[in-house]
Structure 1
Amino acid sequence: MENFSPSDLKAILHSKRANIYYLEYCRIMQKDGRVLYLTESTKENLYFNIPIANTTVILLGNGTSITQAAMRMLAQAGVLVGFSGGGATPLYMGCEIEWMTPQSEYRPTEYLQGWMKFWFDDAKRLTAAKAFQQARISFLQKVWQKDRDLKNEGFDFNSEQIQSALDTFHTRTGAAKKQSELLLTEAQLTKALYKFAANSTNTTNFTRQHQSTDLANDFLNHGNYLAYGLAASCLWVLGIPHGFAVMHGKTRRGALVFDIADLIKDGLVLPWAFICAKENATEQEFRQQILQAFTDHKALDFMFDTVKSIALADELGADENA
Structure 2
Amino acid sequence: MKPIPGMPPAAVSELARMQDRLTFVYLERCTIHRDGNAITVTDERGVIHIPGATIGAMMLGPGTRITHQGMMLLADSGATSVWVGEHGVRYYAHGRPLATTSRLLEAQAAKMTNQSARLQVARRMYEMRFPGEDVSVLTMQQLRGREGARVKRSYREAAAASGVDWNRREYRPEDFASSDAVNQALTAATACLYGVVNAAIVALGCSPGLGFVHTGQARSFVFDIADLYKVEMAVPVAFACAAENLDPDDLPGEVRRRMRDVFRESKLITRCVRDIQMLLLDTELDEDVMLADVVELWDGGSRRVASGKSYEEFDVPW
Asked if residue 226 in structure 1 is aligned to residue 188 in structure 2, the reply is no
Q: Which has the larger radius of gyration?
A: 2
Q: 1:275 to 1:240 in 2, by over 3 A?
A: same
How many residue pairs match? The answer is: 271
Provide the residue aligned with 1:142 in structure 2. none
CA displacement 1:180-218 (0-9 Å, x = unmatched): 543343222111110111111111133211234433222
Provide the residue aligned with 2:103 in structure 1. 110
Question: 2:33, 2:41 within 8 Å by CA — same for their partners in 1?
Answer: yes
Question: 2:233, 2:262 within 8 Å by CA — same for their partners in 1?
Answer: yes
Question: Residue 227 of structure 2 aligns to a residue in which SS?
Answer: helix
Provide the residue aligned with 1:217 in structure 2. 183
Q: Which amino acid aligns with 1:267?
A: E
Provide the residue aligned with 1:50 in structure 2. 50
Q: TM-score, normalised by structure 2?
A: 0.77
Q: Which amino acid aligns with 2:90?
A: Y
Provide the residue aligned with 2:270 in structure 1. 301
**Among residues 262, 277, 281, which one is paired with 2:227 in the alignment?**
262
- Deviates most, 268-277 or 206-215: 206-215
Distance 1:267 1:314 in 2: 24
Q: 1:299 to 1:209 in 2, by over 3 A?
A: same
Provide the residue aligned with 2:163 in structure 1. 202
Distance 2:195 2:18 in 1: 12
CA displacement at 1:58 relative to structure 2 = 1.0
Provide the residue aligned with 2:146 in structure 1. 185
- Deviates most, 71-80 or 49-58: 49-58
Question: 2:79, 2:95 within 8 Å by CA — same for their partners in 1?
Answer: yes
Question: 2:34, 2:40 within 8 Å by CA — same for their partners in 1?
Answer: yes
Quick one: percent identity of the two aligned structures? 24
Distance 1:270 1:257 in 2: 17
Gaps of 5+ in 2: 1-5, 173-177, 286-318
CA displacement at 1:8 relative to structure 2 = 7.5
Gaps of 5+ in 1: 95-99, 139-166, 317-322
Q: Which amino acid aligns with 1:196?
A: E
Higher helix share: 1
CA displacement at 1:174 relative to structure 2 = 4.5
CA displacement at 1:314 relative to structure 2 = 9.5
Distance 2:16 2:70 in 1: 19
Q: TM-score, normalised by structure 1?
A: 0.76
Q: 1:10 to 1:293 in 2, by over 3 A?
A: farther
- Deviates most, 206-215 or 230-239: 206-215
Question: 2:277, 2:283 within 8 Å by CA — same for their partners in 1?
Answer: no
Provide the residue aligned with 2:61 in structure 1. 61
